[in-house]
Amino acid sequence: MPRYRSLFLSHGAPTLATSQHPANAFLRSLGRDIERPRAVIVVSPHWMTRGYPVKQADRYRAWHDFNGFPADLYQLQYPAPGDAALADRVQAAISAAGLPTARDSDPQIDHGVWVPLLLIWPEADVPLVQVSVSTGDAAAHWALGEALKPLLDADDGLLLIGSGSLVHNLREIEPEFSPAPDWSRAFDGWISERLIAADRAALVDYRRQAPNAARAHPTDDHLMPLFTAAGGGGGPATKLHESFSYGGLSMSAYGWPANPAH
């Protein structure tokens, strides 16, 4: 059973939690197919600040941070436990790298966290620590992953998860099972090639180099967790899943395998 240092998961719309989309089936199988972590560190675009605060709570609860969706979504909960000692270690690692951080005691976790985790570990029994994304660029979020990498190297039980969307243009969504347009596939394919090649220089310059970058991400918040996962993973990525929803929303997922020596 493979073990990963970090993952990037596209979470799409909140309806992924109850959808029959292939990405739902992929996430449900992921919890059975990979080595179960002792705890997870999660980065989501739906908690953004000027630095990298770290949540520390005894027990989390799902924040239904969306409007106008089916009523059953608002009944879903995800009471995952926190890990105070790990939160302290995460905060110390971020600070040691010279990055701004703070403690946050809000127990709410946004749908970028609880939707994928609900599908992967539905029992909500894997402790988690959430770290905020920042207003910084791709290189800044890669640096966050690199700041967390020593923790991942030292503790085989930890898993870093960047939750976002590989393509996220809500202005051009179509019905959920519509075919993906060429512009979205082209951007997705470019990112895939560079992740597998561990081409950091191209990835952090994606806004200039990738085809259709501004169209794929009119705002780039949903791509920032990818760079944190890549920085923490350190090395070539493995593609774990590819699909599209609502037309051009890429649901691609990647993993960075743990060092075989561990």
Looking up residue 249, the CATH number of its domain turns out to be 3.40.830.10
Question: Does residue 262 belong to any structural domain of this protein?
Answer: no
Question: Does residue 219 belong to any structural domain of this protein?
Answer: yes
**Predicted confidence (pLDDT) per residue in 197-251, tens digit:** 999 999 999 999 999 999 999 999 999 999 999 999 999 999 999 999 999 999 9
Nearest-5° Cα angle at 47, 43 to 49: 105
Question: Does residue 14 belong to any structural domain of this protein?
Answer: yes
Using alpha carbons, select from 188, 97, 88, 194 the residue that is nearest to residue 141: 97
Question: Does residue 213 belong to any structural domain of this protein?
Answer: yes
Stated pTM of the model: 0.97
Give the chain's end-to-end CA distance (angstroms, integer). 14
Question: Does residue 197 belong to any structural domain of this protein?
Answer: yes
Ranges of residues in the chain with a pLDDT under 70 are 259-262
CA-to-CA distance for 195 and 199, rounded, in angstroms? 6
Question: Does residue 243 belong to any structural domain of this protein?
Answer: yes
Q: What is the mean pLDDT of the chain?
A: 96
According to the model, what pLDDT value does residue 60 have? 97
Number of domains in the chain: 1
Mark out the alpha helices in 155-198 (DSSP H runs).
182-196
Give, in order, the Cα–Cα distances in Å from 185 to each of 25, 60, 230, 243, 251: 21, 36, 21, 10, 11
